[in-house]
Amino acid sequence: MVVVLIGFMGAGKTTVGRLLAARLGLPFVDSDTVIEQRSGRAIKDIFATDGEPYFRELEHQTVTELVCGPDAVISLGGGAVTDERTRTVLRGARVVYLHVGYREAMARVRRDELRPLLKRSDLDELYRQRIPVYQDVSVVAVDTDGRRPDSVVEEIVERLTALPG
Ligand code: S3P
């Protein structure tokens, strides 16, 4: 089984993803980590040197490969779903949207200097634009605000089990 976690920065995709993978007995893979390992560069440096469109291309190729690959829990960078081709790849997959409120997301990530998007002055607008996209692409949506990761994991397992097919 391939389970894909999507959501804005700070939604807890990595933390919840690791726990969920352990719970399901699957490997955990983070698309940003794969991109960094393969390119030998930090995401922040790719953004700074080659720009966001170049990063999105690498991200699309990586996500496609992972989603079509062996069973795993896969966490995607928050902007992966902005690429239409990536959205197409995700159709039909078990995509779980981890929802986080904007204030809580910022409280969780604001001191992280490795996230290039935190420099954007229109980040709140970007957040608003992405919410319907996350909702549209996912088959399960789970609220994470004020919740412990293990409680989020239990809800995901229950909801995935209840899915048809
Ligand atoms: C991005 C989110 C980041 C990373 C990159 C761009 C985005 O991943 O892929 O900095 O566009 O929201 P996280 O969501 O894991 O922080």
Length of the chain: 165
With a CB cutoff of 8 Å and minimum separation 6, the contacts of 147 are none
- From ligand 1's centre to the CA of 150, what distance in Å? 23
Structural contact between residues 124 and 8, judged by C-beta atoms closer than 8 angstroms: no
32 lines ligand 1 (CB under 6 A): yes
pTM of the model: 0.97
- From ligand 1's centre to the CA of 25, what distance in Å? 26
Radius of gyration of the chain (CA): 15
Nearest residue by C-alpha to atom 9 in ligand 1: 77
98 lines ligand 1 (CB under 6 A): no
Structural contact between residues 3 and 26, judged by C-beta atoms closer than 8 angstroms: yes
- Tell me the pLDDT tens digit for each residue of 73-113: 999 999 999 999 999 999 989 999 999 999 999 999 988 88
